[in-house]
Amino acid sequence: MKTLKRRGGKRWLYLLAAIVLIGAYGFWALSRPLPALRLTLGVDKLSVQTPTPKLIWPGAGQAAVGVLGSQVLATHGPQTPLPTASTAKLITALAVLHQKPLALGQTGPAITLTTADVALYNSYAARDGSVVPVVAGEQISEYQVLQAMMLPSANNMADSLAIWAFGSLSAYSTFANGYAAQLGLAHTHVGIDASGFSPTTTSTARDLTRLGEVVMRNPVLAQIVGQNTAAGLPVANNIKNVNSLLGTDNIIGIKTGNTDQAGGVFVGAALAKVNNQTVTVITAVMGQPSLRQAMTDSLPLIQSTQANFSTVTVVPARSVIGRYQQPWGGSVPAVAGRQLAGSTWNGDSLAAAVKLNNSVPGKASAGQTVGSLTIPRSAFAGQQSVPVKLVAAPSKPPLRWRLLHAF
């Protein structure tokens, strides 16, 4: 009898131990943290294509358009090198400021003009070139020479400035050609003068557009080409900008050109509003019958360029961007928290980069941010970003699943 009682007691102890172990396991299985949800469906990039741009190109010659801070956006006509006329002075100004830099507000050193400078004036005047009067012994600042060269387009001042900065026109030409190559102006060649009066300086509308962008990035030159007049030059006194389009349709520069060989040339800069951001449009027109025609054709080109930017929705609000798989079955969608829109040039695509967490906690909440959608900053707009959020909290796993998937 004692043996049977001892055996019965042990069975109760074993049963009790089993109950305790099962209970402990159940408590542990039901109270342990839920496993993470894993990303099973997502996208790397979302994009939208904008409509084809509609530009009003000139009827002859060649042209190009661009935007400050971006690449050349479009070209028209054969991009074969043509004489640049006085738009060559854009290279001259940049090259001189590279050699003899000025900060905004500085006038630079005084330049003493000589009989050689007077001879340049007489030579260009005899050939009916654009000039401003000078005298031997005249003291004129570097900034004032730049004004004389860019506003009334004085050929004599372009050559005088280049000789002052580089020692000779030959040395200037050598430097300027190397400098143009550094700027990526592969189809631009600087010839025998700094003024562009000689047809030996050639370029394309594409290169002139890129050159215009470089000029407008220089605060000193951007200031000068935006001036209607300049006063107080030592001999010439008051001078006027020959860019008659300045101030029309937000035009803020840049340079005219006109010779018998080049015909009419105009490089323009104008402001445009793109989704509350101001951008600078650059245009170039070459090979026109006259300067008047080049400027007449430039105006509708500038206006149509200003109108060919789009603000488009890349991702509508609540668009499903990814899904998080629940280990116990089903999934939770992750959606764009709000609409993502951006601005770009018509004809380009606009893409949003997607960044999503690879996993989220099993006890995540509805509306929890799990990633982002971003359109990077461009010449047309600042960076745009929206969060990606969970539509709902993960569901509770069934009791049976929790007990059977404790490990």
Whether residues 282 and 332 share a domain: the answer is no
- Work out the angle at residue 185's Cα, subtended by the Cα atoms of residues 184 and 186, and round it to the nearest 5 degrees: 95
Whether residues 352 and 299 share a domain: the answer is no
pLDDT at 25: 47
pLDDT at 407: 54
Residue 29 banded pLDDT, cuts 50, 70, 90: very low
Q: Which residues contact 321 (CB under 8 A, 6 or more apart)?
A: 42, 43, 46, 315, 334, 335, 336, 354, 356, 371, 373, 388
Q: What are the backbone dihedrals phi and psi of residue 91, each rounded to the nearest 5 degrees, phi first?
A: -70, -40
Between the CA of residue 233 and those of 52, 53, 149, 194, 245, what are the distances in Å? 48, 45, 12, 21, 24
CATH of the domain at 148: 3.40.710.10
- Percent of the chain scored above 70 by pLDDT? 90
pLDDT tens-digit map of 360-382: 998 999 999 999 999 998 888 88
pLDDT tens-digit map of 255-277: 999 999 999 999 999 999 888 88
Mean pLDDT of all residues belonging to the chain: 91
Average pLDDT on 31-60 reads 86
Amino acid at 294: A
Beta-strand ranges (E) seen in 129-250 are 139-141, 202-203, 229-233, 237-240
CB of 279 within 8 A of CB of 272? yes
Domain count, the chain: 3
pLDDT at 73 over 90: yes
Tokens of 284: 């170039």
pLDDT at 41: 79
In the chain the first and final C-alpha atoms are separated, in Å, by 45
Q: Is residue 266 part of a domain?
A: yes
Which residue is listed with tokens 């200003």?
306
Last residue of a domain, one of 283, 307, 331: 307
Q: H/E element holding 174?
A: helix 169-182
Whether residues 216 and 247 share a domain: the answer is yes
pLDDT at 85 over 90: yes
Range of the domain at 347: 35-49+313-404
Whether residues 291 and 378 share a domain: the answer is no
pTM: 0.85
pLDDT at 355: 95
